[in-house]
Amino acid sequence: MTRSTERPAVTTPPTTGLDEAGALRHQLADQLAAAGHIRTPAVDKALRTVPRHAFAPEVPPQKAYANDIVATCHSDDGRITSSISAPWLQADMLEAARIQPGHRVLEIGSGGYNAALIAELVGPTGGVTTLDIDPGVTDRATRYLAQTGYDRVRVVTADAEHLPVDIVPDGGFDAILVTVDTWDLPWIDALANGGRLVAPLRLHQYTWAIGFTKHDGALHSDEPLIVCGFVAIQGAGAWDTNRRTVPGAGVHLSWEDGTPLPADQLAPALTREPFVAHTHVTVGGQQPFDALTLYLAGALPGFCRLSVDPDGDNRVQNPPPKHWPGAAIVRGPSLARLATERISDGDDGNGVYELVVHGYGPHAHLAAQEMTEQVQHWQHNHRAALCPRITIHPLADDGPTPATDDPHVYVKKHTYVTIDWPIIPGTAALLTDDKGRYLLHLRSANKPIWRPGQWALLGGNTERGETCDEAIVRELDEEIGLAIPDLTGFVTLDTLSANGSFKDRVRVYHGTLNTPAHEIELCEGIQLRWTHIEETAEMTMDPGTAAVLHAHHNAHHPPGSRDRTLPVVEVRETRDQRTRNIIGTHLVLIRDGAVLLGKRHPSSAFAPSTWHLPAGHREDMESAVTCMVREAEEETGLRIAEHDLSLVHVLDLLDPGSTIPRVGLFFAPSRWEGEPLVREPECCTEWRWWPLDVLPEPIVEYTRVALDAISRGALYTPMGWS
């Protein structure tokens, strides 16, 4: 929820003469106000008034007023089934509910104390109803509310999944607070239009306290999300984690908001060390990255949560904490999960960690790379942006289930949830001189950066907490070491995909500079150049930069300002109908009924410690047979003439989770010279002849498929397309 930097305009009552409980109550309120959880005088007064210890007589006052939960009911197996929530979270949720005197408020999940706080906020003209499924909880709440003078609160024993009709006021409740961990929000109809609903909502086992406002029959979040934990809802609304267990591995996978996938096939994958993909994205030891995991849940098909048996041999390197399952995806017999590696102590001593992805199984590198790319996408496009916006729509009783082409849509029992991830606005500087020229920047062609090898404007993305105005000043200082005093907003540049969907946004600033390019110290990139508009047609240029230059050249109005809405320049990416393929060549060397296979190095990026044919990718403009001859000599030392090679099989392969097909060409030589040697020990540790009917384990799966097809005389095999 929104944090204010100002303390509430209240006068703290003196604590002299108070009993111990009263002094502790004011001390707790002071603590919550100082931390920003209390932000209004009304909430401050309520927390200083309601005797929290009276609702938790089982514990001493010091514990009742600690900034922590107080468990009040347990199940037979020891689980907490009811509790008084942590004061900081109660304050945050009460502030988010925006309760006013005279409001009618429903609390789902009773206990008494929070209902008494709400009663203080609504005053004598308002109404409070607190509801719980457990009669033991409601009996307790009724008793303690009466003892503390809040007997005007209505206490109801019922299953919240189906609210009793007679408790909903005409026009609906002005606010609904849910104080149990809930998977769905079936209470939209019970809320007044414009009313507030605050609830700890579960999405893929992640729970956030979210404040919503009802408009046009739907709930719209408008404040930051708060990671939290609550007692699970009971009754008809209880959620199913859809958990599957990997046999013999001590590993469990849960698809709470997705379709469960088989897990038995993953057992062999977890017997080996993982493939580790580095994201180069870092977090501090005390810095949460829960927004990333929520993003991954939508961005990665088949997303699940991974947990391990804490006391067993779970075979998972750097396992996730007991109460915080890890983010994971399953790709057939392979699995990838998000993990961390400590890389330094950090300035605060709490450590700096890199987010890494561990991949397991025959396609470990592909699954890990898929997750890594999404982590990097979040880092570059969403991390410093505003919090995601969540909208909850009710499902029509007799209507169709909404289409879920958008990956960030979750269909639940009563509602469907959409999550909008704001894009970080990038910044760019359109610098001109008195001769009408533009300062352009040649980007490196040999780095994995945006628009490599192209001429572009100076600039870059905003960083966490920065405005665009601040970001462009920082970027120019970092890139050319200069401050441009007259920077003003010029246009907003939007990049659209080939089908017209939004992809990226950059705020372009205009400024003047009359320094020769050779006198400017370029700290990033290759070269600076002052360029006339006529010269740009002969340059390899970023399309967005070209669009901005022409917009400026053709403009009939002065440059923009920081205060007005900027005109928008749109540039659409070109549509490429061609499918790009990776071409690989494979040597099928058979002698006396045995085929030559190599065991790949344990740290190999592809198929570590797995048997495979001599193989490689085509380079530059070489033909497939030239590639095969080259790879055979580089890997094995064998000398083969191109005219001695025959094509014996074509494998048309689509790896799980990949969007780039692979075409494998398998060549058999009629003759060769030499004996196989290990020429690339960093890739292959040994060569060995294996009988075709007794192939080794583990072996690359598509190698097995191809050898089987070759033995049957089949020339073509599609694999992975179904």
What's the CA gap between 69 and 59, in Å, rounded?
Answer: 11
Token pair, residue 147, equals 């003892």
What's the CA gap between 382 and 419, in Å, rounded?
Answer: 13
Token pair, residue 665, equals 């060409």
In degrees, to the nearest 5, what angle opens at C-alpha 282 toward C-alphas 281 and 285? Answer: 155
- The phi and psi torsions of 51 (rounded to 5 degrees) equal -75, 95
Helices (H), 581-699: 624-636
> Residue 333 in 3-state DSSP?
coil
> Residue 209 in 3-state DSSP?
strand
CB 600 within 8 A of CB 607: yes
Token pair, residue 245, equals 């267990």
Among candidate residues 488, 487, 492, 475, the one with its CA nearest the CA of residue 441: 475
**Catalytic (active-site) positions:** 85
Among candidate residues 161, 180, 183, the one with its CA nearest the CA of residue 114: 180
Pairing between β-strand 154-157 and β-strand 173-178 as defined by DSSP bridges: unpaired
CB 388 within 8 A of CB 291: yes
Token pair, residue 249, equals 């591995």
Please return the burial class of 37, using the count of CB atoms within 10 Å of its CB with bins 0-12, 13-18 and 19+: buried
What's the CA gap between 453 and 473, in Å, rounded?
Answer: 24
Spatial CB neighbours of 227, under 8 Å, sequence gap ≥ 6 = 206, 207, 208, 288, 290
Among candidate residues 520, 682, 692, 712, the one with its CA nearest the CA of residue 596: 692
What's the CA gap between 287 and 464, in Å, rounded?
Answer: 13
Among candidate residues 310, 346, 307, the one with its CA nearest the CA of residue 324: 307
Q: Which helix (DSSP H) or strand (DSSP E) does residue 411 occupy?
A: strand 409-411
